Structure 1
């Protein structure tokens, strides 16, 4: 009777299968030991120059890190790879969300690898302003390209960086070039007309558009349209072909309203379908012709030189900012001034001036 009462409940716990005992302790310890090992900057540089993708990924992670302890090592890696960079074609690709950037890049990247090109895709995903997280799902969406031995895909979060790129995209380009990739594709977050940062680090800027979404009217506006070296109307397939051709005509008319570009080359407008691969090869032919013409005119090197000067100034600004916020005395006073500003005890401008004055007087 006592046994019956004991098991009368329908919720009974049954004995399960016990997990097997761990027998290979040596293997586990070996894995833990290797994880603790950190390769030196010289070893990473050597492996990158040999085309080791694991080393390339680890080096990019170091460069993107905000940990002050990683800064010196990252700088050594960049300096070591710099002499072997500058040997690629850099292509920036942007467009509003939903235009099909990832699908297009996969089709375009496969076209290039079939031509024996080595392609690195630096995909930048937007970070949430609330959770600060990012999906980083580009590898999943480019399932064919990610398996290509001549392609390397690196998704990065934009963080707080404006301009459609990640904080360290410029340095990542240098590492990819040193690893032997001759074509660098930068996919921006697609935030509309603020893609200025990516324009300052690429040789060719491609703007993806779709028809039937009111985008034709955007052609008469300045901003990102003036930066584009080529406009591609994507999703030109099925019943959408007629709309795409009409959009092509509208954009062609709009481009004639803009002043001539420094390259003296009129941006071209074309249509394509990333799904059917229609028009993809023609896009690469146009880009190849652009590089050939700008090399002959000297504009290609002139643009690279201007970009180097721009990124020198950006590097100075970034390091000054990092140095300011990493000073213990500034950190302490910054919190005090934040509270004072919140309580309306001091104006934001006066608080900022006090902190900057202290910084410059101390000469940290």
Structure 2
């Protein structure tokens, strides 16, 4: 039975990876709203399949479908928060997202103490259905609209989300000016005509510093995240706790750990506004706490598992120490400028020296 349970739990990894990769071109082409809807709908369908499942094959299919929102939302939710909210509260909201996930896992574990799994699956449909309904009230992302040349719609969306206070209007000005500059440069560049030229230009993008630097930084951040058990523990929580408790009152221990994790994630929402991002990240060196998948626990025991992941985290933290810029209270345009020129130069001041001419929407 344990083998079947582990197979069911790990099957989510396949679609999680695919969704993680494919959501980027989807949201770039069709916008954040459509991309979000495309992730929520499989979530709802997976919940329905779980409720009506009467064999193992249906459970695996439902689990695979759960991988679609699981992978895609890692990228999409962070981008939506970054593009829809003020830099002042961006960090707190990103941590609130994590807190919500932790709370959800703990709440489901708690429900498991009182209800059977079919009833829990049915209750779980409430959130994705609510998310879908809320999505219908959103405007489109101002950043995406500006990138598409829809400057008037960008202004309307931005004002709906952020209001019209001077600070927000400066950021809107910088956003539109940045995209207008980008489009001007793109038009002035000689367009490749042949297929080999187009291919060469496409792959050349992957060699630019403004692509390589953030990609490597995010890769190291994700390594640290997973080494801390971000997705491993919720998936294998019962197995990991059983390894320590011997199977006695396992679910109660899991719920207790969920409460601890939720409490610390809520605390992080407060702390993230008190300290700089780099300071918070590198302070984790002092309190590295690692968990591990069942395979490594069984093969090299808990001590070996902790040692391996500690080494991975130390390597990633060293890389980030020398390459990760401070982003607290920085706008997306300022962060983008950093990766382009290698230093911060605020567009909120620089761009206001130039008059902003609203061109016709494309």
Same fold (TM over 0.5): no
Q: Radius of gyration: which is bigger? A: 1
Could you say which structure has the higher strand fraction?
A: 1
Q: Normalized against structure 2, the TM-score is what?
A: 0.29
